[in-house]
Amino acid sequence: MVREQTVLATSHPHSYYAASANDKRVRPTLQGHVKADICIVGAGFTGMSTALHMAENGYKVVVLEGSRIGFGASGRNGGQIVNSYSRDIDFIEHHYGQKIGAEMGKMAFEGGRILRRIVKDYDIQCDLKEGGIFAACNRKQFEELVEKKKLWEAHGHEQLELLDENTIPQYVGTERYVGGLIDHSGGHFHPLNLVLGEADAVESQGGTIYENSAALRIHEGDKPIVHTEEGDVEADYVLVAGNAYLNGLLPKLESKAIPCGTQVIATEPLPESVRQRLLPKDNCVEDCNYLLDYFRLSGDGRLIYGGGVTYGAREPAKVEALIMPKMLKTFPELKGTKVDFAWTGNFLLTLSRLPQFGRIGNNIYYAQGYSGHGLTCTHLAGKVISDAIQGQSERFDIFAGLPQHSFPGGRAMQIPLTAMGAWYYNLRDKLGI
């Protein structure tokens, strides 16, 4: 049963993405009892990718979103296609063995292909552009990029090109970088328009999405039931994909990850001559620092610039005050440029910085904790989870078998200990060691 919207619905947070969204429709709120093959909690990229893969295979899909489609990190991030994981394949090989590393390596570059397939198949208008650059701030970071290229090529990814100090100015108009690595299979896009387009694709395949329908509790059993304030969904399977916005829905997961905030600004539209100087080939860029900066041009010529982390998802008093100095350090010529939008969004950080997949019982799945590296892995997750529910669980089990450590010191010490670690690595970046 569905009711008409009679009250003001939760809106997307104020951002460039929300202001330029292609689809501003409000989906209905769940009321009453419905049945489905799978109930998905969370209408971000993990939820939408899973919903679409399941719906394409004939399953009856119901998605519950506590706010709006793409309300969380999926609709507020930097919009960059970055391959692999927050911890790269060599870390996985070293800590979990060559076999696990090889299997994770096979999947490390699949998410971007899935994303592009969805955009193409459903003609999603999201300003998709090609090419992503890792920028080295010092020689140590450049040497690490040389090793990254070797590592990724050893796992079959060959769309890479090193940029030395003479060639990187052809891609990025700044003196900050001593070199870089361009991944020609990387790229960038309008993330909210992508997740909204994916929602439309889910609906075109028969799926149903309810907004302003927060999951309050899950009754486990042979047919788990997800309860909202005004209704419930009975399903064969449940996927919990709320990431940093679960609000205690699965308490047993809370000690395993912490929410973190990142800040983003969007300038006024820049003249073509300025855009050509800043990013002449229209690639996206992220630097190699632990607390990294990332930036790109929007479809209408704005510079979108992000960086920094607030642990515990605290809202900074003034986002521009945090990001403007970073932007001007990279592009001093933008001094005096107007900032039209500034916003923040939460992602979920795990202790290992690897994503956490798992099952509760046989029929409640979860996926979370992409640790700031989620745009490709969330799309991979949808395919992997869909395959697992359909009986092909080998790849899901690789992820689910990774250790999921709790942060030391319990919830009271999660944030200060993590912030101390970030301070240490940030100092190393500044010293180039």
Co-location of 173 and 36 in the same domain = no
Co-location of 72 and 27 in the same domain = yes
Residue 406: φ, ψ to 5°: -80, 150
Single-letter amino acid, residue 292? L
Q: Mean pLDDT across the stretch 388-392?
A: 98
Is 244 or 278 the better-scoring residue by pLDDT? 278
In angstroms, rounded to a whole number, what is the distance separating the alpha carbons of residues 418 and 4?
44
pLDDT of residue 7: 40
In total, the chain counts a number of residues equal to 433
Strand stretches in 42-196, DSSP E: 61-64, 80-81, 129-136, 160-163, 179-188
Contacts of 354 (CB under 8 A, 6+ apart): 85, 86, 87, 92, 369, 371, 402
* Mean pLDDT score across all residues of the chain: 91
In angstroms, rounded to a whole number, what is the distance separating the alpha carbons of residues 350 and 40?
22
Co-location of 36 and 183 in the same domain = no
Q: Mean pLDDT across the stretch 255-283?
A: 94
Residue 369: φ, ψ to 5°: 75, 45
Co-location of 63 and 14 in the same domain = yes
Residue 260 pLDDT level (bands cut at 50, 70, 90): confident
Q: Is the pLDDT of residue 432 over 60?
A: no
Look up residue 203 and give its two tokens. 């609906």
Co-location of 25 and 110 in the same domain = yes
- Least confident piece of the model among 100-114, 304-318, 328-342, 390-404: 304-318
In angstroms, rounded to a whole number, what is the distance separating the alpha carbons of residues 235 and 230?
17
Look up residue 75 and give its two tokens. 């609709």
- Least confident piece of the model among 19-28, 119-128, 332-341, 414-423: 414-423
Model pLDDT for residues 233-243, shown as the tens digit of each residue: 999 999 999 98
In angstroms, rounded to a whole number, what is the distance separating the alpha carbons of residues 224 and 37?
11
Residue 258 pLDDT level (bands cut at 50, 70, 90): confident
pLDDT of residue 423: 41
Co-location of 142 and 51 in the same domain = no
Look up residue 330 and give its two tokens. 């990279």
In angstroms, rounded to a whole number, what is the distance separating the alpha carbons of residues 13 and 430?
33
Co-location of 170 and 317 in the same domain = yes
Indicate the number of domains in the chain.
Answer: 2
Q: Is the pLDDT of residue 427 over 50?
A: no
Co-location of 138 and 268 in the same domain = yes
Could you count the other beta carbons within 10 Å of the beta carbon of residue 241?
30
Co-location of 207 and 252 in the same domain = yes
pLDDT of residue 259: 84
In angstroms, rounded to a whole number, what is the distance separating the alpha carbons of residues 261 and 134?
22
In angstroms, rounded to a whole number, what is the distance separating the alpha carbons of residues 81 and 135?
15
Q: Which of 154, 183, 163, 201 is CA-nearest to residue 382?
A: 201
What is the DSSP annotation of 68-100? STT-SGGGTS--EE--S-SS-HHHHHHHH-HHH
Q: Is the pLDDT of residue 426 over 60?
A: no
pLDDT of residue 246: 83
Co-location of 345 and 205 in the same domain = no
Co-location of 110 and 147 in the same domain = no
Q: Is the pLDDT of residue 417 over 90?
A: no
Angle, nearest 10°, between helix axes 374-389 and 45-56?
40
User: With contact defined as beta carbons under 8 Å apart, do 320 and 326 qualify?
Assistant: no
User: With contact defined as beta carbons under 8 Å apart, do 169 and 43 qualify?
Assistant: no
Look up residue 90 and give its two tokens. 């060599």
Co-location of 25 and 49 in the same domain = yes
- Least confident piece of the model among 20-34, 67-81, 246-260, 269-283: 246-260
Domain region containing 285: 130-188+257-350+411-432
What is the DSSP annotation of 1-35? -EE---SPPPPPPSSHHHHT-S--PPPPEE-EEEE
CATH code at position 181:
3.30.9.10
SS3 for 359? strand
User: With contact defined as beta carbons under 8 Å apart, do 238 and 364 qualify?
Assistant: yes
Single-letter amino acid, residue 61? V
